[in-house]
Chains A and B, each alone.
Chain A
Amino acid sequence: MADASRPNQDLSAGEMAEFLAVYIDETGEQCDQFVQALLALEKDPVDARRLAEAFRLIHSIKGSAALLGFDRITSLAHHLESHFERLRSGSLLLDGPAIEASLRCIDYFRICNERLREGEPLQPADDLLEDVKRLSLPPRPDAERPPASPATVPAAGPAKEPAPMNPDPKEATAVERLRRIRVEFAAGLPMADLKAELVLARLGGIGEVVEATPAAAEFAANPTIRTLDVVLRTAAAGGPITMAADVDGVVRVDLDVEPPAAAPVASAAEPGPAVVETMRVGVDRLDVLLNLVGELVVSRARFVQLVAEMAPLFRKTAGGGRQGVAARSLRDSVESMLRTTDVPADRAAACVFQLDQLEQQGRMWEEGHRRYSELVESVDHLTRVADGLQRGVLGTRMVPVSPLFGRFKRSVRDIANELGKNVTLELSGEKTELDKRMIDELGDPLVHLVRNAIDHGIEPADVRLRRGKPETATVRLAASHRGNSVIISISDDGGGIDVERIRERAVARGLVPAQEAALLGPRELIDFIWRPGFSTAQQVSSISGRGVGMDIVRTRIESLNGSIDVDSVPGEGTTFSIRLPLTLAIARCMLFRMPQAAFAVPVEAVREIVTVGDEQILSVGGRRVCDIRGEFLPLVEMDEVFSWSGGVPTVERGAVLVLQAGTRAVAVCVSSLLGTQDLVVKSLDENFMAIRGLGGASILGDGEVCLLLDVAAVFEMITRSRPVAERHP
C-alpha cells in the first residue's frame, strides 16, 4: 500500500526521524521563499528571475519529498513544477488561478509539515492535484470538473464527498480523519473471508483503507476470520461508517478502538518517529565563530613557533645554564686567591661585586628558565583548548553522510524500476562526516551521478548475462577520509564509458575536428563529458534534475573547493571520485615563497617535494619537462601561470613541488618551502575581485598575506597553453 503516510520503508526509524527534521526545516523555508516569489510575481508575472526561483524551489521540494517517499507531496509538486516550467519557458503566463492554486499547494505542504511533525498521516490532495493539472490545459469553456475517483463499491454508503482543500489545518483535520474500526463476525460464519472483503470494499467506498488486520491477502488463508481491524481515512461520520461495515454476518462494529496490541507494523495512526528538537542558528553566526576560531588557530601557530624558537635560548646546556656552575667555581677560585695573595682591597671588592652580578644574572636566567617552562606548558594548554574549540566549532557544522547516502536507497530502487534494471545499492563509510553546507550542496550532483550510473553505466540484463556478469548490477556509494579530505565515490559495475561514442558526439557537436578526434586517447575523450552541454540525452522524470549536466556537477564540486575525477574500465565499470575538504573554512596548507609573494597550496594537492637537477630538465619546443623518477612532468614557473605587472626577478630554483589534481600532475618551481600550517581561507572578492587560479588568501602569523592556489584552476590555466602529463599508474 504505497501511501504518503507510510514513508520510505527502506529507512530505519532513526534515519527517518533525522531526515524528517531536515525535510520539515527545509521545505518550511522553501515554502516561505516560494510565497515571497509568488507575491512578487503577482505584481510582475514575467519576472524571469522570480520565475526561475519559484521553479527551483518547487523542484527542490519535490526532490526532498520524493526521497522520503511522500508520494502525495511529490506528485503535487511535480505537476506544479511542470506548470512553472511552462511559465518559465514563456509558453504560459502566470495568471490568477495559477497563483491561487500555487498558494493552496504551499498551504498543503505546510499542513503536511505540521502533520509530519506531529507524526500524523498526510491527507490526500486529489482535488488540488486536479486543479494544478488543469492549470496547464488550454482553457475550455465547457470543461467539467473531472469526476472524483469512482468508489469501488457503488452505492454502498454515501459517496465520498469531494473534500476541498482547506488551508486551515484544524478545519482540514475535521474534514478528514483516521478512524480505527473493529468489525466482529459471527462465530462459524461461512465464507467469513469473503464477507471481510466485502466490508473492506464498502469501507473503501467512503474513504481510504489505510491498513487492514489481517491484510486482505491473508483472508483466504484465514477462512474463519472473527475480527477485522481497519484503519480508514475518511470524512464520513460514525453512522455511515457503521452502516458500511455492517453487512450480513457482522455482529458488532466498534469505532475508534485501540490499535491491536500485536500490530505487526507501526500503523499510520501512531506517532511517527520522534523529531529531534534542534536549534536553528544562522549560518552567518557560525561563520563568525569559525572565523574567530580560524584566527585563534593562526595565533596559536604563532605561539608554538615562538616557543620553539626560544627553546635553544633556555636549554640547560646553553650559556645561561652553565653560568651558575661557572660563577660558583669562579667565586671559589677568587676567594682562595684573595686568601693566599695580596690583592689591593678595592680590586678585591670590585671582583666580588662583579661575581655577585654574575650570580644574580644566573639566578635571573634560572627564573627565566622556570618561566619559560611555564610558558611552554601554557602554550601546550592553549593548543589543546584551541584544538578542542576548533574541533567543536567545526563539529557544529559536521554531519555524517549517512542521511545523504540513505536517501539513495529509495532513489536507486525507483530509478532502477523506472529504467527496468535490476540494481542493488551498496553503501560504505556512512559515518564519515562532512561540513553540512557541503552535504546540502552534494545532493543534486550525487543524484545526477547515480542516475547516470544506472541509466548509462549499467547494461541491460541480457547484455550483462552475455558478458558473464551477475544480472543484478551493483552501484556503490562510498565515503572515506583521506588525510584532510573526504573522498566520496560512486561506482558501478557496468560497461564503462564508451569512448567511441564520446568521440562521435564530440565531432558531431563540433567540439573537435574529426581528424584531431581520431588522435585523442581515452582519457582526453572522457574529459569531454565535463564540457557544458555535452550531457547525454536527458529524460525529464520525477527523479532527474532538468538539464543538470556533468559540467554543472563539476562546477558545483569545484565551488566547494573539491575536485571530481572519473575512472572507467571498459566492460568493468566506472567510478567517479569526489574529493572534498573536510571544511571550507580552514585548510591545511603547504606554504612556499616565491619572489612575487608567499603562496599556499592545500596539502592534499601536494604529491611530493623533490629537488630537480638541471640534468633532469628537458626542453621540448620551448616548454620544460622534468624527469621525476622516470615520470615526465611539465615544469612550470609562477610567471607562466600568472602574469605579474612590473616584472619578476628570476627564480632561484630552491625546490620543486609536484602538485596533483586527480590523475593530473605538474611540477612547480618554488624559491623556498615554508612548511605546513592551518590557514583560514579568506576570499579575495570580498573587497576586491576573484582572480582565476587563486582560491583566496590567508593571513600568516606575522600579518603577511599569502595567496592560496586553486590547484584545479591552475591546471586548467596551464593546460590551455600546454598539455599536462597524465599519470599512468
Chain B
Amino acid sequence: MPCGPRLLQQTVTGMESLRGQDSKQNGSAQFVGFEIDGQKYLFRIERIQEILTPGSVTRIPDVPAYVVGVSNLRGTIIPIIDLRLLFGLAPRTADANTRTIVVNVGDRTVGCMVDAVSQVIRIPLNQVQRTPDTVGADSHRSIEGFARAGENLFILLDADSLIDPASLAAAHRAGVPSVSSPDMVP
C-alpha cells in the first residue's frame, strides 16, 4: 500500500479561496501558524503549498542533521527539513500533531517538519512589527518580524532565507564531515 503522506483538509484550493478574500481586505494578510518547542511561528500563506501528516522519509547521506531525508510527494522528490533541528533544538519523536508544511521556495519545493500546525490566521498588517535591527543579526536573518494576535505572540519567518537551498548547500559544504574524516573509518 502506498505509505505516502496523507493530505490534510487544508489543501491548496482551500487556501486559494482564502487568499481570494485577501485581496479584497486590504491591510491584512493570511498566515499559517505553527508551533515548535512551544513557540508559535508564522509562514506567509502564499508560500505554503500544502500541509501533510509526515509520511515515509528516506534518509540521505552527507547532509546536515536537520535534513531528515527525502519524501515522495506525488511523484516529485522533495527534501524534508526538521525545523526543530534547524533551530538547534533537541530532536523529538514525531507524534499525532507533527506536520510537514510543504513550502515553495523559488522554483523548489521543500517540506518543513514542525511540532504542530495551529491555524490559518488573518493578521492586520499594522499588527506585524518588522524585526528590530538589533535582532536582525546574521542568525536571525530569517525572522521577518513579530505579530500579535489576541494574546499570542508569533514570530513571522521568511521561508526564502530560512530554507534557501543555496545556503543549505553551503552549510553542507562547510559543516558536514567528509568521508575521509578519521571518525568515519571503522
Residue of B nearest to A690 (CB): B169
Q: CB distance A642 to B179 under 8 Å?
A: yes
Contacts A645-B63, A689-B168; A720 near B77 (Cβ below 8 A): no
Give the chain A neighbours of B10 by CB distance below 8 A: none
Q: CB distance B56 to A703 under 8 Å?
A: yes
Q: CB distance A703 to B72 under 8 Å?
A: yes
Most buried by A among B62, B65, B76: B62
Cβ 8 A contact of B78, one of A645, A688, A721 = A688
Q: CB distance A295 to B62 under 8 Å?
A: no
Give the chain B neighbours of A706 by CB distance below 8 A: 58
Inter-chain contact count A-B, CB under 8 Å? Answer: 109
Give the chain B neighbours of A688 by CB distance below 8 A: 70, 77-79, 108, 110, 165, 168
Stretch in B1-9, B39-47, B125-133 touching the partner: B1-9
Residue of B nearest to A646 (CB): B65
Give the chain B neighbours of A702 by CB distance below 8 A: 1-3
Residue of B nearest to A697 (CB): B77
Give the chain A neighbours of B179 by CB distance below 8 A: 640-643, 717, 720-721
Residue of B nearest to A717 (CB): B179
Interface size class of B (residues with CB under 8 A): 35 or more
Residue of A nearest to B3 (CB): A703
Instruction: Give A683-729 interface residues, CB cut-off 8 Å to B.
Output: 684, 686-689, 691-694, 697, 699, 702-707, 717, 720-721
Q: Contact flags (1/0) for B60-100 with A, using CB distance below 8 Å?
A: 11111100011110011111000000000000000000000
Give the chain A neighbours of B168 by CB distance below 8 A: 688-689
Q: CB distance B58 to A687 under 8 Å?
A: no
Q: CB distance A721 to B3 under 8 Å?
A: no
Cβ 8 A contact of A705, one of B61, B71, B108, B109 = B71
Give the chain B neighbours of A639 by CB distance below 8 A: 184, 186
Q: CB distance A643 to B77 under 8 Å?
A: no
Contacts A697-B70, A721-B185; A596 near B77 (Cβ below 8 A): no
Give the chain A neighbours of B65 by CB distance below 8 A: 645-646
Residue of B nearest to A596 (CB): B59
A682 within 8 A of B: yes
Contacts A295-B75, A684-B70, A705-B72; A598 near B58 (Cβ below 8 A): yes
B121 within 8 A of A: no
Per the bound structure, the CA–CA distance linking A598 and B58 in Å amounts to 8
Q: Contact flags (1/0) for B159-186 with A, using CB distance below 8 Å?
A: 0000001001100100011111100111
Contacts A596-B59, A687-B110, A689-B165; A645 near B64 (Cβ below 8 A): yes
Q: Number of contacting residues on A, CB 8 A?
A: 36
Q: CB distance B62 to A691 under 8 Å?
A: yes
Q: CB distance A720 to B180 under 8 Å?
A: yes
Per the bound structure, the CA–CA distance linking A638 and B60 in Å amounts to 11
A141 within 8 A of B: no
A337 within 8 A of B: no
Cβ 8 A contact of A642, one of B61, B108, B110 = B61
Q: CB distance B77 to A699 under 8 Å?
A: yes
A597 within 8 A of B: yes
Q: CB distance B72 to A699 under 8 Å?
A: yes
Q: CB distance B77 to A684 under 8 Å?
A: yes
Instruction: Give B95-153 interface residues, CB cut-off 8 Å to A.
Output: 108-110
Per the bound structure, the CA–CA distance linking A687 and B99 in Å amounts to 19
Q: CB distance B77 to A705 under 8 Å?
A: yes
Per the bound structure, the CA–CA distance linking A641 and B59 in Å amounts to 15
A359 within 8 A of B: no
Residue of B nearest to A291 (CB): B75
A622 within 8 A of B: yes
Contacts A687-B110, A688-B79; A643 near B70 (Cβ below 8 A): no
Residue of A nearest to B78 (CB): A687
Give the chain A neighbours of B176 by CB distance below 8 A: 643
Instruction: Give A633-664 interface residues, CB cut-off 8 Å to B.
Output: 637-646
Give the chain A neighbours of B61 by CB distance below 8 A: 596, 638, 641-644, 691, 693-694
Per the bound structure, the CA–CA distance linking A526 and B158 in Å amounts to 52
Instruction: Give B1-59 interface residues, CB cut-off 8 Å to A.
Output: 1-4, 55-56, 58-59
Give the chain A neighbours of B69 by CB distance below 8 A: 597, 705
Residue of B nearest to A295 (CB): B75
Per the bound structure, the CA–CA distance linking A686 and B186 in Å amounts to 33
Q: CB distance B63 to A687 under 8 Å?
A: no
Q: Taking the nearest CB of chain A, how far is it from the CB of B170, in angstroms?
A: 10
Per the bound structure, the CA–CA distance linking A646 and B177 in Å amounts to 13
Q: CB distance A687 to B77 under 8 Å?
A: yes
Give the chain A neighbours of B76 by CB distance below 8 A: 682, 686-687
Residue of A nearest to B1 (CB): A702
Q: CB distance B59 to A644 under 8 Å?
A: yes
Give the chain A neighbours of B71 by CB distance below 8 A: 705
Give the chain A neighbours of B62 by CB distance below 8 A: 642-643, 691-693
Per the bound structure, the CA–CA distance linking A337 and B185 in Å amounts to 77
Most buried by B among A640, A688, A704, A707: A688
Cβ 8 A contact of B58, one of A597, A682, A691 = A597
Residue of B nearest to A721 (CB): B180
Q: Taking the nearest CB of chain B, how far is it from the CB of A587, in angstroms?
A: 15
Per the bound structure, the CA–CA distance linking A640 and B62 in Å amounts to 11
Per the bound structure, the CA–CA distance linking A194 and B105 in Å amounts to 81
Residue of A nearest to B76 (CB): A687
Cβ 8 A contact of A691, one of B1, B60, B165, B186 = B60
A-B contact pairs, 11 of them (CB 8 A): A597-B69, A639-B186, A641-B179, A644-B59, A684-B77, A688-B79, A688-B110, A689-B172, A693-B62, A699-B75, A707-B60
Query: Which B residues are within 8 Å of any A CB, using their own CB?
Result: 1-4, 55-56, 58-65, 69-72, 75-79, 108-110, 165, 168-169, 172, 176-181, 184-186
List 9 additional A-B contacts (Cβ < 8 Å) besides A643-B184, A721-B179. A597-B69, A686-B77, A691-B63, A693-B61, A702-B1, A702-B3, A703-B4, A704-B72, A705-B69
